[in-house]
Amino acid sequence: MKFEDYHINPAIKKALDKLGFKKPTDIQFKAIPPILRGEDVLAIAQTGTGKTAAFAIPVLHMLHERKQYARQDGIKCLVMVPTRELAIQITEVFHTLGKHTRVETMTVFGGVEQAPQITKLEDGIDVLVATPGRMFDLVSQGHIRLERVEMLILDEADHMLDLGFIKDIRDVLRHLPRKRQTLFFSATINEKIKDLAYSLVTKPIRIQISPKDPVSKNVDHSVAYIGMDDKRFFLERVIKENEGSKILVFVRTKVRAERVHAAMDRVGIKADTLHGDKDQKDRLAALNRFKKGDVKVLIATDVSSRGIDIPSVEYVVNYDLPDVPENYVHRVGRTGRGTQKGKSVSFCSPEEKEILNEIEGYLGKPIKVLDIEKQDYSATIDFSAEVKPDLKSLLKEVQDFEEASKKKKKPKGKK
C-alpha cells in the first residue's frame, strides 16, 4: 500500500511526495489506520522506524479536516516527550508534513526565555509538543489550557520513566478531558511501562514491531578491545580514516565529553559537545552545526541517543559502553536510518567487559569483534598527532623551572 492510497488530506500527501516518501514503514502501516479511526494505540517499535510520522500524519489529517473551531478554544493535541532535542525534532516533523495544512504546531521546553513561547501560545495553536517542566510552569501561569485536548501522545515513554517523569504524566491527566484519544509510543516494553500504558488507554490497539535483531540491519556494528587510556588514540584514528564523514561519539558522562573534546582539539580535530550541563542555546547550536555538516564530529552523552534524527550520520563510536544495555541499540540507531547504511564501533576496555556481556545478552547474540594486531595497536598510539613528552624534554622543563625559581629567590642589590 502506498501513501497515495490512504484516505488522508491531499495537502499531507503533497508534503509526503515532496519528501520522497512513497510507502509507509511497518509501524506507519499498522498505526495510521486505527489512529484515523479514533482508537487508542499502544505502539512498541525500535528507534529509526518512523514512529513520529506514524502519529503525525493521522493527527494532521484529523485536525486539518475539522478546522471549524477557533484556535482560541485551546490546544487539541498534546505531545509529551522527555527531552528538549526530541521536542524540537517532533515539531519539525509536524511543520514539514503539515506545511500545506491549516494546523499550527509549536514546542515549549525549559532552558530558554518563556516570553516568546507565551506570545505564540496567545496567538493560538492546535498541536503542542512539550517537555513536562516548562509545560507545567505555563499551565500554572494560565498560559496553557488543556481542557480542550482531544489527543494525548506520549513519545519515548520508556525514556520518560527512566528520567522520573511518571508523576508528571499522571499529573497532566488531571488537566485533560476524560474523553480523549491516547497514543502511547515506546521503544521497549516492560511491566512498569505496561502498567502505565494500560492505565492511560482504553481498549487500545496494541502494535509491536519486534525484529529478531533489535539493531537495524542497515548498521554494521562491532566492538574493539581497547585500554581505557588508549581510547583517544583510536578515536583520532577512526575520525582521520573517515575524513568528511559525520561521526557521533557517545561517552558516559558530561565531564568525559569535555575531556574527549579537549583530546581531539590537541590533535587538530574540530568537534562539538552535547550534554546536559550546556545551555540550551549552546546545545541547539551544536546540534544544528552537526546536522548541517559544519562540524563533522559531535561528542555526546546519552541525551542524544534517544529519538534524535540527525541526517546522514555515517559513523557512531561508543567511546564508553552505555550503562543500560538497551541504550546500545538507541545509540547505534543514530546511523543507518531509513534506507541508508551506517557503521558503529564500540571501544571496550577490560573494566567494561561485564557491561559488554550484558549488552550481548540483551541483543541475544555476540557483537562482531574487530581483531587489532599488537603491532597495529602500538602503531595507532605511536602515530597519533598528540605531542608526547620524551625524557629529554621533561628534564629540560625541570631545569627551566629550577632556574626560574632561583631568579625569584635572588636578593636585589642595594641602590
* Angle at CA of residue 267, ends 227 and 257, nearest 5°: 60
- The most distant pair of C-alpha atoms in the chain lies apart, rounded to whole Å, by 100
Q: Is the pLDDT of residue 308 over 70?
A: no
Q: How confident is the model at residue 350 (pLDDT cuts 50, 70, 90)?
A: very high
**Type and span of the H or E element at 300:** strand 297-300
The span from the CA of 324 to the CA of 341, in Å, is: 25
Q: What percent of the chain has pLDDT over 70?
A: 88
- Give tens-digit pLDDT for 109-126: 988 889 999 999 988 899
pLDDT at position 408, please?
53
Give residue 97's Cα distance to chain centre: 20
Span 174-199, average pLDDT: 85
pLDDT at position 192, please?
78
Q: Which residues contact 182 (CB under 8 A, 6 or more apart)?
A: 40, 41, 151, 152, 153, 154, 200, 201, 202, 204
- Choice between 15 and 46, residue whose per-residue pLDDT is larger: 15
Q: Is the pLDDT of residue 273 over 90?
A: yes
| Least confident window among 144-148, 165-169, 182-186, 259-263 | 165-169
Asked if 1 contacts 29 with a C-beta cutoff of 8 angstroms, the reply is yes
Q: Is the pLDDT of residue 218 over 60?
A: yes
- Choice between 77 and 72, residue whose per-residue pLDDT is larger: 77
Residues forming beta bridges with residue 249, ordered by sequence position: 299, 317
Question: Hey, CA dihedral for 110, 116, 121, 124, is it positive or negative?
Answer: negative
The span from the CA of 246 to the CA of 249, in Å, is: 10
Strands 342-348 and 219-225, bridge-based pairing: parallel
Burial of 175 (0-12, 13-18, 19+ CB in 10 A): middle
Q: What percent of the chain has pLDDT over 90?
A: 52
The span from the CA of 42 to the CA of 103, in Å, is: 24
Q: How confident is the model at residue 415 (pLDDT cuts 50, 70, 90)?
A: very low
pLDDT at position 14, please?
93
pLDDT at position 387, please?
62
Same fold, 3-209 and 219-382: yes
Give the domain ranges of the chain.
Answer: 3-209, 219-382
pLDDT at position 74, please?
79
The C-alpha cell at 38 is 479514533
Span 216-231, average pLDDT: 92
For the chain, how many helices (H) and strands (E)? 16, 14
Q: Is the pLDDT of residue 216 over 80?
A: no
DSSP letters for 67-136: TTS-GGG--SEEEE-S-HHHHHHHHHHHHHHTTTSS--EEEE-SSS-SHHHHHHHHH--SEEEE-HHHHH
pLDDT at position 164, please?
76
Tally of CB atoms within 10 A around 199: 10
User: CA nearest 315: which of 347, 285, 288, 349?
Assistant: 347
Q: Is the pLDDT of residue 281 over 50?
A: yes
**In the CATH hierarchy, which top-level class contains the domain 3-209?**
alpha beta
219-382 is a CATH 3.40.50.2300 domain: no
Give residue 65's Cα distance to chain centre: 32
Q: What ranges in 155-279 are assigned the alpha helix state H?
A: 157-162, 166-173, 191-200, 231-241, 254-266
The span from the CA of 349 to the CA of 228, in Å, is: 5
The C-alpha cell at 202 is 482504553
Contacts 24+ apart (CB under 8 A), 271-276: 271/295, 271/297, 271/298, 271/299, 272/297, 272/298, 272/299, 273/298, 273/299, 273/300, 274/298, 274/299, 274/300, 274/301, 274/303, 274/304, 275/300, 275/301, 275/303, 276/301, 276/303
Q: What are phi and psi of 257, to 5 degrees?
A: -60, -45
Q: Is the pLDDT of residue 395 over 50?
A: yes
Strand ranges inside 319-386, DSSP E:
342-348, 368-369
Radius of gyration in angstroms for the set of CA atoms belonging to the chain, rounded to a whole number:
25
Q: Is the pLDDT of residue 392 over 70?
A: no
